[in-house]
């Protein structure tokens, strides 16, 4: 179970934050510009670019970007293969 759920301002709804809290995780989503600022740790939110860069590298694989595989198990296996080869590289 994740401890934090990181998202952009596009996910900054009260309903979505309540759903994250109900799963036992803490939301690290900055408030919209017209709302009062919320407690969002900067170090967690700023590290989300690591995940975004990983997805960008994984999407260089055509099978990951277009999701050729029909089942979730097949897609997960291709995703793991791409991540492993990216890690080795």
pTM of the model: 0.56
pLDDT for the residue 84: 93
Contact assessment for residue 12 and residue 6, using Cβ atoms and an 8 Å cutoff: no
pLDDT for the residue 24: 93
- The residues pairing with 4 across neighbouring beta strands, listed in sequence order, are 26
> So where are the chain's domains?
1-46, 49-89
- Where residue 22 falls among pLDDT bands split at 50, 70, 90? very high
Per-residue pLDDT for 38 more than 80? no
Measured distance CA(44)–CA(46) in Å, rounded: 6
- Where residue 18 falls among pLDDT bands split at 50, 70, 90? very high
């Amino acid at each position: 179970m994740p401890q934090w759920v990181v998202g952009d301002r596009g996910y900054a709804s009260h309903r979505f934050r309540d759903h994250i809290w109900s799963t036992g995780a803490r939301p690290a989503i900055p408030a919209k510009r017209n709302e009062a600022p919320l407690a969002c740790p900067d170090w967690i939110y700023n590290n989300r670019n690591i995940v975004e860069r990983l997805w960008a590298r994984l999407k260089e694989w055509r099978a990951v970007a277009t999701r050729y595989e029909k089942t979730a198990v097949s897609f997960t296996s291709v995703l793991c293969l791409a991540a492993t080869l990216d890690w080795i590289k």
